[in-house]
Amino acid sequence: MRVLGIETSCDETGVAVYDSQRGLLADCLYSQIEMHAKYGGIVPELASRDHIRKTLPMIREVLALAGTEIKELEGIAYTSGPGLMGALLVGASLGRALAMGLNIPAIGVHHMEGHLLAPMLEADPPQFPFVALLVSGGHTQLVEVKGIGLYRMLGESLDDAAGEAFDKVGKMLGLAYPGGPRVAALAEAGTPGRFTFPRPMTNRPGLEFSFSGLKTAVRNTLAEQAALSASGVVDEQTKADVAIAFEEAVVQTLVIKCRRALEATGMKSLVIAGGVSANQRLRVVLQEMVDKQRSRLFYAQNRFCTDNGAMIAYAGCQRLLAGQHDDLQIITRARWSLESLPPLTVSGSTTASTSASPPAQQ
């Protein structure tokens, strides 16, 4: 089955063509970051308008790159939540309208399920069951994954998401949005151990996260350092030293919780997904931890850690193959629980399968 994937939930327009026999045929990504940068964050209305401008031309482009005629498409998958309502509506309406015109099934995909399944696009994909750490700009969640749609929330952030904390600390350090990759780059010049920040919620049992106190600790340290300096501003080396201490606190916190989740579930595979899973330090420290646990770590290549169309095409394709699809109503959701998703029921199996009968046409 050949599926077009459309991602427009936030500030990236992503489109891709995935074929269940041949794998990913092509993907295109356009980031609006420059447009939002001067506002210091995403302006939802500007995001929606830009998706309107970009999505259709990008669909033409990705079909050409995939060597696929539009009439060869057998399904359409679009992100239907969680995300910015206006932005989601662009991809959902376009996807729905195309599917109707082509008389093929369409399905709304949960953005975090897309992230969670992105490592399946790699040459050595994880096998179910596994523990997934979803770390993006909007979510920090530990999930027990027994198959597609078989999700049990083990713990999540009570306040800021890990990516959000990176972005806010980036702003405090005078870095452009999004702060995550920039804080990580600055941390490379940092002196380990000059500052130490708390590892929130690690000194008591449980798998919940909280990053807002850590953010406050960084703000206080920067204010102290500014007061100590003769010029009243924090010098570049001190900023790098704060960046490395912050990154280490986030990484160690995530690693402690991941180890606990593996122990609690008895699972031997850990999948990390979402923008923060591109963080090199996180990957290195998690790898050391899973090696000690005789477990394995999986993640997507960098471009599929952050938002993209390929993960949506893949996730949608698995559900369409199982006969699932949405009706003609266009539904988008700003909030949407991962646990509420239906499981796959392909020949009694809940794992991805390419042997399902074709989905019903609408």
Residues in contact with ligand KG4 by CB under 6 A are 10, 115, 136-138, 163, 166-167, 178-181, 184, 274-276, 278-279, 306-307
Nearest approach in angstroms of CB 264 to ligand KG4 is 25
The DSSP secondary structure of 77-142, one letter per residue, reads EEEEESS-HHHHHHHHHHHHHHHHHHT--EEEEEHHHHHHHGGGGSSS---SSEEEEEE-SS-EEE
* Region 131-160 residues binding Zn ion, contact defined as CB under 5 A: 136
Whichever of 136 and 279 has its CB closer to Zn ion, that residue is 136
- Which does residue 166 touch among Zn ion, ligand KG4, none (CB within 5 to 8 A, set by kind)? ligand KG4
Nearest approach in angstroms of CB 349 to ligand KG4 is 29
Nearest approach in angstroms of CB 274 to Zn ion is 6
- Which does residue 91 touch among Zn ion, ligand KG4, none (CB within 5 to 8 A, set by kind)? none
Residue 353 — left, alpha, or beta (φ > 0 → left; ψ -120 to 50 → alpha)?
beta
Q: Are strands 23-31 and 12-19 parallel, antiparallel or unpaired?
A: antiparallel
Helix pair angle (280-292, 236-265), 10° resolution = 30
- Which does residue 200 touch among Zn ion, ligand KG4, none (CB within 5 to 8 A, set by kind)? none
Whichever of 165 and 270 has its CB closer to ligand KG4, that residue is 165
What are the helix (H) ranges across the chain?
Answer: 33-37, 44-65, 85-102, 111-117, 162-172, 179-187, 212-228, 236-265, 280-292, 309-321
For residues 232, 233, 236, 238, the Cα torsion angle rounded to the nearest 10 degrees is: 60
Nearest approach in angstroms of CB 108 to ligand KG4 is 16
> Is 32 one of the binding residues for Zn ion (CB under 5 A)?
no
Whichever of 179 and 359 has its CB closer to ligand KG4, that residue is 179
> Is 80 one of the binding residues for Zn ion (CB under 5 A)?
no
Q: Which of 7, 50, 113, 307 binds Zn ion (CB under 5 A)?
A: 307
> Is 318 one of the binding residues for Zn ion (CB under 5 A)?
no
Whichever of 167 and 326 has its CB closer to ligand KG4, that residue is 167
Nearest approach in angstroms of CB 142 to Zn ion is 17
Whichever of 9 and 221 has its CB closer to Zn ion, that residue is 9
Measuring CA to CA, which residue among 213, 208, 215, 202 is closest to residue 165?
Answer: 215
- Which does residue 167 touch among Zn ion, ligand KG4, none (CB within 5 to 8 A, set by kind)? ligand KG4
CA dist 20 and 321 (Å) reads 9
Give the binding range for Zn ion (CB under 5 A) out of 96-104, 186-194, 301-309, 322-330. 301-309
- Chain-centroid distance of CA 65 in Å reads 24
Dihedral of alpha carbons 194, 200, 203, 205, sign? negative
Nearest approach in angstroms of CB 10 to ligand KG4 is 6
Nearest approach in angstroms of CB 212 to ligand KG4 is 15
> Is 308 one of the binding residues for Zn ion (CB under 5 A)?
no
Q: What is the edge-to-edge ordering of all strands in the sheet holding 12-19?
A: 23-31, 12-19, 2-7, 75-81, 106-110
> Is 113 one of the binding residues for Zn ion (CB under 5 A)?
no
CA dist 325 and 254 (Å) reads 35
- Which does residue 318 touch among Zn ion, ligand KG4, none (CB within 5 to 8 A, set by kind)? none
Nearest approach in angstroms of CB 239 to ligand KG4 is 16
Nearest approach in angstroms of CB 347 to ligand KG4 is 33
Count of residues interacting with Zn ion (CB under 5 A): 2
Phi (first) and psi of residue 253, to 5 degrees = -65, -50
CA dist 79 and 6 (Å) reads 6
CA dist 248 and 198 (Å) reads 10
CA dist 46 and 312 (Å) reads 23
- Which does residue 178 touch among Zn ion, ligand KG4, none (CB within 5 to 8 A, set by kind)? ligand KG4
Q: Which amino acid is it at 357? A: S
Query: Interface residues with Zn ion (CB under 5 A)?
Result: 136, 307
